[in-house]
């Protein structure tokens, strides 16, 4: 059957064109590195404490910011994390705040399901579309799937016509 046939091996030019036509399928996600100071939601006067700590951090008055805050099982930060990585650990509000935060400055407090966080983005890289050699296997698989889908669509579109012709031939032969 046409849909089951393996598509021909594409040229690099065809794969490059497929990559250019669908860059969103292959782009490297943006990455963010950051540190955070955690404050428990049930801490008395948490809003005031957060404001005081943020002022000290912004002024550079703290040698090691990671000793501040409340004990937590959360990491003190993440390195080269994707938005999905950040969201899975800290939640969507922290992910959104980090995306908007300037690099190198403390900001917050940001609320999460765990409590409050003062955050400092230490590095950020934008999403990029990699070169074909870096993602060739993924582009090839996606191209082949697109070819299969096109073959199925073509055979389904042609099926009623072929079935109608076959029935016409059968009726003419029987007559």
**Mind listing the pLDDT tens digit for each residue in 82-133?**
999 999 999 999 999 999 999 999 999 999 999 999 999 999 998 888 888 8
- Do the Cβ atoms of 98 and 77 come closer than 8 Å? no
Q: CA 143, 144, 146, 151 torsion: positive or negative?
A: positive
With 60 as the cut, is the pLDDT of residue 168 above it? no
Q: ∠ CA 123-128-129 to the nearest 5 degrees?
A: 165
Who has greater pLDDT, 168 or 100? 100
Global confidence as pTM: 0.65
Q: Which residues pair with 39 in a beta bridge?
A: 116
Nearest partner of 74 among 111, 117, 108, judged by Cα: 117
What is the tens place of the pLDDT at every residue in 67-93? 899 999 999 999 999 999 999 999 999
Q: What is the mean pLDDT of residues 19-48?
A: 91
Phi, psi of 5 (to 5 degrees): -70, 140
Q: Is 10 exposed, middle or buried (0-12, 13-18, 19+ CB in 10 A)?
A: middle
pLDDT at 16: 86
Q: What is the mean pLDDT of residues 18-46?
A: 91
Q: Which residues pair with 110 in a beta bridge?
A: 117
């Amino acid at each position: 059957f046409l849909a089951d046939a393996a598509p021909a091996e594409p040229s690099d030019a065809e794969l490059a064109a497929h990559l250019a036509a669908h860059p969103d399928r292959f782009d490297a996600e943006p990455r963010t590195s950051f540190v955070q100071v955690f404050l428990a939601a049930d801490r008395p006067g948490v809003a005031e404490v957060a404001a005081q700590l943020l002022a000290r951090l912004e002024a550079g008055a703290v040698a090691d910011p990671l000793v501040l805050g409340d004990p937590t099982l959360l990491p003190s930060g993440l390195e080269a994390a994707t938005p999905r990585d950040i969201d899975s650990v800290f939640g969507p509000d922290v992910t959104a705040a980090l995306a908007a935060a300037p690099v190198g400055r403390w900001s917050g407090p940001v609320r999460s399901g765990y409590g409050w966080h003062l955050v400092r983005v230490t590095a950020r890289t934008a999403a990029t579309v990699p070169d074909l050699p870096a993602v060739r296997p993924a582009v090839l698989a996606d191209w082949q799937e697109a070819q299969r889908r096109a073959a199925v669509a073509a055979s389904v579109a042609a099926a009623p016509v072929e079935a109608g012709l076959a029935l016409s031939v059968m009726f003419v032969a029987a007559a």
